[in-house]
């Protein structure tokens, strides 16, 4: 409920009844800014590990596309023969235990213990080693000291984790987000000032095709972080994936569709679907990392029945959480392909050179 109200305030236009709560959020954001500066200043010592640590993070709350970027980088490294560890705090999960396991074992765990993003990553990266703990520093230490030999560790959402030394920082920046949102949380979506981007080694502009002026955005980021390399990432829709079938996206061109998702940037997801079909019966936006209970699942089912929707469509991480529920019609998620410009091979090569790991041959 609070997230829903916050998004309405954030999306307000001009003078409206949301002005007063927006003013309150602005005051709170001043304290948040001071708090973030103090937290970073107090972390004078950082835990170093015997293996290189690379963070894939962001400076905004909500979805910027960091999970598919991390997945792309990890998949490329694995294909090149590197032993890859992935560290996560598994935000939004119900359990609180820690574990270090390969992806092909994690995928069989209850999603309440792994969280949605770890489950999604483990399904895509069965050969990677996953280390989960409420503390990313502890998770990284556990991975480095585990029985599994690792060449490097990727930290999911580690840009603001100041207690852990990173050898390389990759930051994803959502090109579709309006500039009016780029204020400190909760008045805007920023976890820390935009100038924090200068700490990044690489900035990846995600959803680049939705940016109003990509050239101007690249110039602005180049001025904010002159030492950082700037890449573009365009998300291309791949296939419709269900429990026992894979279909081309054109399958939904003439189908009536109900959409739901619990993600940070629901509007970007909805925009993608509108490019595939005009017959959208309903679009239900849940909170990021939504925990689907019986009421929310029945709400989706009832709305689909009311509109006589032919299929239900969601994101991959939501699909993993609700896949066993009977909605009375087919449930699919959309796979994504990522086109990185000037190329994922160049990005990984730059990363490996910076952390002084030689490219593997054969």
- Sketch the domain layout of the chain as residue ranges: 2-42, 53-235+338-354, 236-337
Q: What is the pLDDT of residue 1?
A: 67
Nearest CA-CA partner of 87 in 141, 135, 154: 154
Q: Spelled out in words, what is the top-level CATH class assigned to the domain 53-235+338-354?
A: alpha beta
Q: What is the pLDDT of residue 362?
A: 44
Q: What is the pLDDT of residue 359?
A: 55
Q: pTM for the complete prediction? A: 0.88
Which position has the token pair 């091979």? 345
Query: 236-337 maps to which CATH number?
Result: 3.40.50
- Say yes or no: do domains 53-235+338-354 and 236-337 share a fold: yes
Q: What is the pLDDT of residue 132?
A: 97
Q: What is the pLDDT of residue 18?
A: 78
Q: What is the pLDDT of residue 126?
A: 97
Sequence-separated (6 or more) residues with CB below 8 Å from residue 43:
162, 163
What does the alpha-carbon distance between residue 359 and residue 362 come to, in Å, rounded to a whole number?
10
And the tokens for 303?
A: 């709305």
pLDDT tens, per residue, the chain with 362 residues: 677 778 778 878 766 777 788 888 988 999 888 888 787 777 666 889 999 999 999 999 877 889 999 999 999 999 999 999 999 998 878 878 899 999 999 999 998 899 989 999 999 999 999 999 999 999 999 999 999 999 999 999 999 888 899 999 999 999 988 888 999 999 999 999 999 999 999 999 998 888 888 999 999 999 999 999 999 998 888 899 998 899 999 999 999 999 999 988 888 889 889 888 889 999 999 988 888 999 999 999 999 999 999 999 999 989 999 999 999 999 999 888 888 999 889 999 999 988 877 655 44
What does the alpha-carbon distance between residue 89 and residue 86 come to, in Å, rounded to a whole number?
10
Q: What is the pLDDT of residue 44?
A: 62
């Amino acid at each position: 409920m609070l997230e829903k109200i916050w998004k309405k305030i954030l999306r307000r236009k001009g003078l409206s009844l949301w002005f007063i709560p927006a003013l309150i959020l602005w005051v709170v954001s001043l304290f948040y800014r001071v708090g973030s500066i103090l937290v970073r200043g107090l972390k004078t010592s950082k835990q170093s590990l015997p293996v290189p640590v690379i963070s894939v993070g962001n400076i905004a709350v909500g979805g910027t596309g960091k999970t598919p970027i991390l997945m792309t980088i990890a998949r490329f490294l694995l294909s090149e023969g590197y032993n890859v560890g992935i560290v996560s705090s598994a935000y939004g999960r119900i359990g609180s235990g820690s574990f270090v396991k390969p992806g092909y074992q994690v995928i069989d765990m209850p999603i309440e213990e792994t969280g949605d993003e770890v489950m999604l990553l483990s399904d895509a990266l069965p050969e990677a080693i996953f280390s989960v703990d409420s503390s990313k520093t502890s998770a990284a230490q556990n991975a480095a000291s585990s029985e599994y030999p690792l060449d490097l560790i990727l930290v999911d959402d580690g840009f603001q984790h100041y207690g852990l030394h990173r050898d390389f920082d990759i930051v994803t920046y959502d090109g579709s987000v309006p500039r009016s949102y780029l204020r400190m949380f909760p008045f805007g979506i920023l976890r820390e000032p935009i100038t924090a981007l200068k700490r990044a080694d690489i900035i990846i502009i995600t959803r680049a095709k939705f940016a109003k002026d990509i050239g101007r955005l690249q110039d602005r980021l180049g001025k904010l972080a002159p030492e950082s390399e700037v890449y573009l990432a365009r998300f291309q829709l791949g296939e419709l994936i269900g429990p026992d079938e894979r279909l081309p996206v054109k399958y939904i061109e003439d189908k009536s569709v109900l959409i739901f998702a619990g993600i940070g940037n629901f509007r970007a997801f909805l925009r993608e679907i509108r490019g595939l079909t005009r017959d959208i019966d309903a679009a239900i936006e849940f909170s990021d990392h939504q925990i689907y209970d019986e009421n929310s699942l029945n709400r989706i089912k009832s709305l689909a029945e009311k509109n006589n929707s032919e299929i239900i469509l969601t994101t991959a991480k939501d699909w993993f959480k609700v896949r066993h529920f009977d909605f009375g019609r087919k449930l699919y998620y959309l796979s994504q392909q990522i086109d990185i410009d000037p190329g994922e091979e160049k990005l990984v090569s730059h990363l490996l050179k910076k952390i002084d790991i030689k490219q593997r041959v054969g």
